[in-house]
Amino acid sequence: MTRIDDKFAELNAAGKKAFVAYVMAGDPDFDRSLEVVKGLPSAGVDIIELGLPFTDPMADGTTIQLAAQRALGAGQTLQKTLDLAAEFRKQDTTTPIVLMGYYNPIYNRGVDTFLVDAKAAGVDGLIVVDLPPEEDDELCIPAQNAGMNFIRLATPTTDDKRLPKVLQNTSGFVYYVSINGITGAAEAQASDVAPEVARIKAKTDIPVIVGFGINTPEKSKAIAQVADGTVVGSAIVAQIAEGKPTSEILAFVKSLADGAHSA
């Protein structure tokens, strides 16, 4: 059992849906990023997705691309992202942290070294968007052997033939991408998402969390009503980009979390 498994068991026992928040590590700089991340649990965040800055984030829209550029420009690295997670762990030993990003920085560090360091920093799961199931031996299987969840994306184009392959070694939760395209590109519609979530849940007991295109408390609630929870990223990152005070950012996050938790 990982912290992610424990969190879903806790939420399930309470009859609540999950709220997952994504922020880019090191955006706009290390200290400010850490301040925001430290405040997320008290704002109602159940699981933290920490973006791993990368120069070519192909699945991300402009908002998150610019966040990666700001973070990299401020000197954020893979090591500093692990340092940020470790700093967070000094005050919070229960909220799960998922690193979300691309394989190149992990490959450059070396998979074995990365997994040891990530585990030591308190990372609980990985979402690596450019590693398909056919490459599971590369990182997915070693990560699970190291005690970390490997979370896979399913999309509107993941048909019934492909779905079993996607689910094969997925653990923690399935991240359903509610729209075709990049992050922040369109709004999710619960009426479109509901049958897709049901189709995935018919094939797995793992929780299905929906992300992409969720940017208001009302949308967060509507999507959580048809899934096991919601993920919000671009809308939060946009608040950071605007330079809003941490207190305002966290108040916005709390409104989104309240939406999901009221579903």
| Active-site residue set | 49, 60
* Cis, bond preceding 28 (omega within 30 deg of 0): yes
193: closest CA among 161, 164, 231, 225?
Answer: 225
Q: 209 forms bridges with which residues in the sheet?
A: 175
Tokens of 54: 């990368």
Tokens of 127: 């979402």
Tokens of 135: 């490459």
263: closest CA among 212, 229, 213?
Answer: 229
Report the alpha-carbon distance of residue 19 to residue 46 in Å, rounded. Answer: 5
Burial call 110-120: b when 16+ CB within 10 Å, e when fewer: eeeebbebbee
Tokens of 203: 């094939």
φ/ψ (deg, to 5) at 46: -90, -35
Report the alpha-carbon distance of residue 193 to residue 204 in Å, rounded. Answer: 17
